[in-house]
Chains A and B, each alone.
Chain A
C-alpha cells in the first residue's frame, strides 16, 4: 500500500499571550436603593454557566476545549456538556464508557486505530483496533450521533448495520485506511441511513470474490437524497453504473463525487452532465475501454468540463489516457487541489495541464513527470502550499525519476510551500539546504530517499547537514520524516533545533543509541515517534523514560531492542501499554522485532491476538 494520501488535519500548537489580571467584582449582588428591585442578583450560577457555554460554542479546537475544561468545575461541566466533536487519537487510550460518561452530547466522532506503519504492511493482520466495542457503546450512549470518521480501524459489516440502525439522525461516515467490511455492509448502510449526506471511502482496500459483491449503490433510498459527498475511488469492485447515474440524478445537493477505476471516461462524462454543480470530482479511470473511439468522447468530455464551473478539486485519473487530459483545461484555472498521484504521465503530458493551474494549492503527483515536470510546476504554481511526489515504483532499488534538481526547482518557485512529501533516490544536502532557506513556512517535511543509506549523490557525504538545515531554518516544522545516509549528527541537530516537532519518522538511520537519545531528550513537543530498521537499542529506549507519558505513541521495528529493555520501561511506567509484536515464529525470544507502546487510561487491552504480548 502506498503512503497515506489523506492526512487528517491537526490543529497546531500555539502559545497564548499573557493577559492582565481581572478582578470580576461580579459575584456580589447589586441592591439598588429607593426603587423596587425586581431583578435577581446577577452572576448567579445560571448566568455564569450561560456565559461559559456561549463562549465555548465558539471554541472549536480540541486543545482549546481541553484547556477550558481544566479551568474549574463549572467550566469542566459546561465543556463536557457542550462538546459536539470528539477526537480520540488512539482507540486503546480510553474506554468507550469513559468517553461517553464525560461527554454526553457528542454529535461527531473521530477515532483512530492502528499505528501508522500499518500503511507499510508492518502491522500484522488481526492486530486489533476493532470498531465494534465503540459502535455498541455509542449506539447506547449517543443516540444523536451524526458523523463518524474512522482511521485505520477494523470495521465489520455488522458495525455498519449497527450504525445505520442506531442513529436516526446519522449524516456522515468517513472510513480512512479501514478494513474488515464489504459491499454487503455498505448495502445495508446505504439502505438504512435515510438522511445520509456523506459517505467517503478513502484508501480502504478489500478483496471480494465476484459472487460476493453486492450492488450497494442501488440500495440508497429511491426518493430524493441528501447526499453531498460520495466517494468510493478506492473500491476494488465495480458498481452498478445505471444505479449510480440514477442516484446522482436524485441527489441535487451532491458536491463531491469520487468514483473508482471501473468508471470509464464516457461514463464520467454522463455523470458530469447530471451533476454540473460538483466542486470535487474523482474521475475514475479517465480512459476509454474501446480503442479508436477516443475522438468522439473527447469532444463531449470537453463540453462536460467546460460546463462544470464549480470544480475546485480534481482527483482520480487512475488509468489515465493522456489524450483526454486537454478536456480538463477549462477548469484548471479554478482548481486548488489536483491529485495526479495515480496518473502515469510524462513531463510533456503534465506541462500543458499545469500551465493553466495558477491557483493550485495542493498538488499530488507521480514521479513519472520527472524533474522536468516539477520545474513546470515551480514555474506556474506560485500559490502552492502542499506537494506530494509519489514513486511509481516504491522499492528501494527502483530507478527514482525525480531528484535534487526537482526539489531545488520547487523550493525556488513555490515559496509559500507548507508541506512536502518527496520520494526519490538521488538527493543532495545542498538542495535540502536551499529548500530550508526558501520555504520557511514549512510545517511538514517528509523526504523519503528510497534506497537504504544513500548519501548525498554529489559529495558522498551523509545527509546530516540537509536535515539539520531544515530543523534549524524552518521554525514552524511540526512533522519530519528523515531518510538517506544519516549519522547521529543529524539526530543531534533535530534534538537541538526541532523544538516544535510533534511527529518524527525514521527509517534506516543513525549509528548508535545516542541518535535516539538526542531526539528524546531534545524535542519537548514530540508526540508521535516511529522508527524502523535503525540501530537503536535498550539504552536509547530508556533515555526517553521521562517523556513517554507526554507522547501518544512510540513504534520501533527491526531495531536492536531486547525484551529486558522493554520490560524495564513497562515496569517503570505502569500507565504505558508496552506491546511486543511477534509475527515471525522463527524469531528468537530475547530480541524484540516490533515494539508499539502508548499511554492509556484503561491499561492493557483484552482483545490482543496471540502474537501480541503486552508486558
Chain B
C-alpha cells in the first residue's frame, strides 16, 4: 500500500494529513484535491512545500482507513494515463473495495466526509451489493443501527411496504 509519504520532488506543494492515532500522510496537492472537503479547506488556508499545512483528521478516520482513501486519491490523481490506462484503473477500483465489512463502511464514511464522490460511489455500490436480499434486521445489524421508530410507527410502515409497494 502506498502511504503517501514519498519525498517532495522539487518544490511541489504538499499537505500533511494527520490521523488521530498519530500517523502522518504527506500528499501532493493533486491528490488532496481529489477530496472536495480538503480542496475547499486548502483554498482558504493554503500550503507550500517547505511548510506544508497539517490537517488533523477526526478520530473515526484511522490511519488504516485514511491509507485506503489516500491510495485511491493518488491513483486517481494520476488518472488513466499511468500504469496501463483505464482498464488498469478499473481493476484497481475493483480490488480497492474488496474489504471486510467494518473497513468497507469506514472507508465509505470517510469518502462521504472527505467528499471524494467517485470513491463514495464505489464503496456505496459495494455496500449495496452486500445488503441486497437482507431482511430489515440484517441491514440494521450490518450497519449497527438501532431502530428509532416507535412501535406504532414501525407497525404502520411494516404493513405499508408489503401491502402497497411490493
Closest to B100 in A: A20
Task: Of the listed stretches A21-29, A222-230, A292-300, name the one at the interface; the rest are far from the partner chain.
Answer: A21-29
Stretch from B75-83, B91-99, B107-115 contacting the other chain: B107-115
Binds B, one of A58-66, A134-142, A143-151, A236-244: A58-66
What DSSP secondary structure best describes chain A's contact surface? loop
Chain A interface: which size bin?
35 or more
In angstroms, how far is the closest chain A Cβ from the Cβ of B80? 23
CB distance from B79 to the nearest CB of A (A): 23
A387-418 vs B, CB cutoff 8 Å, 1 = contact: the mask equals 00000000000000000000000000000000
Q: Are B158 and A39 in contact (CB under 8 A)?
A: no
A38 at the interface (CB under 8 A from B): yes
Helix, strand, loop or mixed for chain B's interface?
helix
State in angstroms the CA–CA spacing of A599 and B60 once bound together. Answer: 46
Known A30-B58, A64-B132: A70·B112 in contact at CB below 8 Å: no
Within 8 A of A (CB), among B126-149: 127-136, 138-149
Contacts of A35 in B (CB 8 A): 18, 54-56
How many contacting A-B pairs (Cβ < 8 A)?
A: 185
Chain B interface size, as a band, is 35 or more
Min distance, Cβ A589 to any Cβ of chain B, angstroms: 31
Contact A66 B165 (CB under 8 A): yes
User: How long is the Cα–Cα vector from A51 to B161 in the complex, in angstroms?
Assistant: 23
Q: A68-B139, A72-B147 are in contact. Are A43 and B165 (CB under 8 A)?
A: no
Given A64-B132, A67-B135: A38 and B45 interface contact (C-beta under 8 Å): yes
> Chain A contacts of B145 at CB under 8 A?
71-72, 75
Closest to B20 in A: A30
A69-B157 contact given A21-B141, A42-B109, A55-B124, CB 8 Å threshold: yes
| CB contact under 8 A between A93 and B164, given known A16-B138, A58-B128 | yes
Say yes or no: is B162 at the interface (Cβ < 8 Å to chain A).
Answer: yes
Is B157 in contact with A30, judged by CB distance below 8 angstroms? no
B20 contacts which chain A residues (CB < 8 A)?
A: 30, 32
- Within the complex, the shortest CB–CB distance from A78 to chain B, in Å, comes to 12
What is the bound-complex CA distance between A102 and B164, given in angstroms?
12
Q: Does B160 contact A (CB under 8 A)?
A: yes
- Which of A82-90, A195-203, A337-345, A432-440 is near enough to bind chain B? A82-90
Give CA–CA (A601, B102) in the complex, Å.
Answer: 39
26 pairs, CB–CB < 8 Å, chain A vs chain B? A14-B132, A20-B101, A21-B141, A22-B102, A29-B59, A30-B57, A32-B57, A41-B58, A42-B109, A43-B60, A47-B109, A47-B112, A51-B108, A54-B124, A56-B128, A58-B127, A59-B132, A62-B165, A63-B133, A66-B161, A71-B140, A72-B140, A73-B148, A87-B166, A90-B164, A601-B163
Residues of B within 8 A of A (CB): 18, 20, 37, 41, 45, 54-61, 101-102, 105-106, 108-110, 112-113, 120-121, 124-125, 127-136, 138-149, 154, 157-166
